[in-house]
Structure 1
Amino acid sequence: MNILIYLVAAAVIGWIATEIMHDRGGLLINIVVAVIGAFLAGYFLSPLFHIGTINDAITIPTMLVTLLGAIILLAIVRLIRRRR
């Protein structure tokens, strides 16, 4: 049951991130973006803000940190696409 809640939260965060960055993706892409964004946020942003990610607990602050990580991930992907 916890994995289902985690995937739903990741899908919502990924969808919000793709909407903010005006990037289109399907449900699977949204989940992947949020999960990778959570790992990026956990590595770089959590020590700065002293807040965990959705990997730790699903709360509003952790979802915001994960959203920020997903947005950063999408910005990096966009920069890589432009160079090609």
Structure 2
Amino acid sequence: MGWFSWIIFGALAGWIASLVVGDKRGCFINILVGILGAVLAGFIYQASTGRAWRFDWDWASFGVACLGAVGLLLIINLITGAGRSRR
């Protein structure tokens, strides 16, 4: 995929992840989380299965990217404490 495709793919995956987690950080963060989540999940997939993962425009790649972005958002929220209620 080209750079523009990575941005669009990351934005979509990050947006879906922010809907799942309920996070409202903004479009730029969604793009970053989506791209980094896709790369992170791809590496985890490759390490756990031993098969190379290709980042293409297909449902499997999108699912892996969304799962990676959700996981990354959960880690970010855990570190920053964004999910906790403040009284």
Work out whether residues 9 and 35 of structure 2, in 8 Å CA contact, stay in contact via their aligned partners in 1. Answer: no
SS at match of 2:24: coil
Q: Which amino acid aligns with 2:62?
A: M
Return the TM-score normalized by structure 2. 0.77
Give the superposition deviation at 1:51.
Answer: 7.1
TM-score, normalisation: structure 1: 0.80
The equivalent residue for 1:31 is 31
What does residue 4 of structure 1 align with?
4
For structure 1, which runs of at least 5 residues remain unmatched after alignment? none
Tell me which residue corresponds to 1:65: 64
Q: Which runs of 4+ in 1 moved over 3 A?
A: 46-51
CA deviations over 1:33-63 (Å, ceiling 9, x no partner): 011101210221344365736xx21110011
Q: Which stretches in structure 2 are left out of the alignment for 5+ residues?
A: 82-87
Match of 1:52 in 2: 53
**RMSD in angstroms over aligned alpha carbons?**
2.0
**In 2 relative to 1, CA 63–51 (structure 1 residues): closer, same or farther, beyond 3 Å?**
farther
* Contact 1:46/1:65 (8 A) holds in 2: no
C-alpha separation between the residues in 1 aligned to 2:61 and 2:16?
15
Q: Percent identity?
A: 32
